[in-house]
Amino acid sequence: MEAVVVDAGTKLLKAGFAVPDQPPSMLRRFPSVSSEMDAAVVDAGSKLLKFNHASSEIGPEVIPTQMKRVPEDESLTDASLLENVTVDPVVRGFIRDWDAMEDLLRHVLYTGLGWEIGNEGHILFTDPLSTPKAVREQLVQIMFEKFNISGFYASEQAVLSLYAVGRISGCTVDIGHGKMDIASVIEGAVQHISSRRFEIGGLDLTNLFAQELRKSNPHVNLTISDVEKLKERYACCAEDDAAYEKIQQACSEEQHILPDGQVIKIGRERYTVGEALFKPSILRLEAHGIVEQLVRCISTVSSENHRQLLENTVLCGGTASMTGFEDRFQKEATLSSSAIRPCLVKPPEYMPDNLANYSAWVGGAILAKVVFPQNQHVTKADYDETGPSIVHKKCF
């Protein structure tokens, strides 16, 4: 049986069997702008969580990790007794709510991917940068003790994203929903001193978008999930600084009709969202733009590696697939203060499109094909002998 690769992000969980040149098999596309009642929910059976599948499409689908708590007893007809509590197992990239995570994984592995109890296989997880040791240990513990898997491996998302594009050295700019990581990797090992994690991500951009839209459309009632959908559809990056200034002066407006019938006008706000990554002052942060941050991080590495790192830059993460982001990044890179221009890597042709959204997962699938057959992973016997701390010794 193929190993399973799981990439649990703040917003979307990507899971599937390790078949690298296909997208993850468990990616369920979230239904279009939904009200609270239709949000995806996970069913665990023994706990109070239920899962409503969104409409499944052919091809890749992603499960949102945000879950909703619903009483198990279906006989409750009084709707007001239902708690509309959303549960976020993964916060800012790190797993925080372990019970919820366990339930989510139970669904993913047994229902979604078809594992049978008693016949669990190998699993590979991805970690964001600077994952605390305790989080990794807890994950290993849950996998071996609650799920009884036969083999475990964990690897950092930065390294995996590079494997997905066929490199072992380079830098990754991973802009996810809850966090942004800039990491430099040399020969498969992350250089922690020159890697940085920022606590801003798609979530903050969504909040910014909501704020801007509320300012220009004061009479429209928007929920965050509405804004999230709008952001994915409309947000884009201006071509460069000058173009952005022009857009701020005058921009064509588009009308969008929300599912509940309200009409909303979207104009320059869509460019503001894209600009925020290059000018964090828009988000009220005292920081340099993303290209400058990248150059600064790389400058802490010994100079013989600079060329190798900057010329192999990979953009990944959901937010990086914003329209116009890549072009703007390239343009800013040519203007940057470093002697060597950051240069983006083109993914190989056999990889699916939209690789940026789940490059860590694809890299995991590639790594799984190497690690598990060569028995470099943590086996049940190893875990029983040494305990959860074995993950630090064997997985890196």
Partner 1 sequence: MSWQTYVDDHLMCDIDGQPGLRLSAAAILGHDGVVWAQSSTFPQFNAAEINGILTDFNEPGHLAPTGLFLGGTKYMVIQGEPGAVIRGKKGSGGVTIKKTGQALVFGLYEEPVTPGQCNMIVERLADYLIDQGM
Residues in touch with partner 1 (CB under 8 A): 133, 186-187, 189-193, 300-302, 374, 376, 386, 390, 392-396
3-class secondary-structure state, position 17? strand
Tokens read off for 251? 């921009």
Q: What is the distance between the alpha carbons of residues 225 and 234, in angstroms, rounded to a whole number?
A: 14
Least CB distance to partner 1 at residue 386 (A): 8
d(CA 148, CA 101): 16
The C-alpha angle with vertex 370 and arms to 364 and 372, in degrees rounded to 5, equals: 90
The CA distances from residue 308 to 165, 233, 348, in Å, are 15, 35, 18
Which among 226, 200, 183, 295 is positioned nearest to 35, based on CA atoms? 226
Give the Å distances, CA to CA, from 256 to 206, 212, 251, 261, 264.
17, 15, 16, 10, 5
Give the shortest CB-189-to-partner 1 separation in angstroms: 4
Cβ 320 to partner 1 shortest distance, Å: 25
- Considering the complex, what minimum distance in angstroms separates the CB of residue 131 from partner 1? 11
Residue 91 has phi, psi (to 5 degrees) of -120, 125
DSSP 103: H
Of the two residues 100 and 360, which places its CB atom closer to partner 1 in the complex?
A: 360
Shortest Å distance, C-beta 135 to partner 1:
15
Strand partners of residue 182? 173, 196
The SS3 assignment for 153 reads strand
Nearer to partner 1, 78 or 187 (CB): 187
Q: Which is closer to partner 1, CB of 70 or CB of 158?
A: 158
To the nearest whole angstrom, how small is the minimum distance from the Cβ of residue 306 to partner 1?
Answer: 13
> Residues with Cβ < 8 Å from 358, sequence gap 6 or more?
7, 14, 23, 24, 27, 60, 62
Q: Which residue, 107 or 136, has its beta carbon nearer to partner 1?
A: 136
Which SS3 state, helix, strand or coil, does residue 33 take? coil
Let me know: does 322 contact 237? Beta carbons within 8 Å.
yes
Type and span of the H or E element at 190: strand 189-190
Min separation Cβ 363 and partner 1, Å: 17
Q: Which residue's CB is nearer to partner 1, number 126 or number 191?
A: 191
Residue 377 CB, shortest distance to partner 1, in Å, is: 9
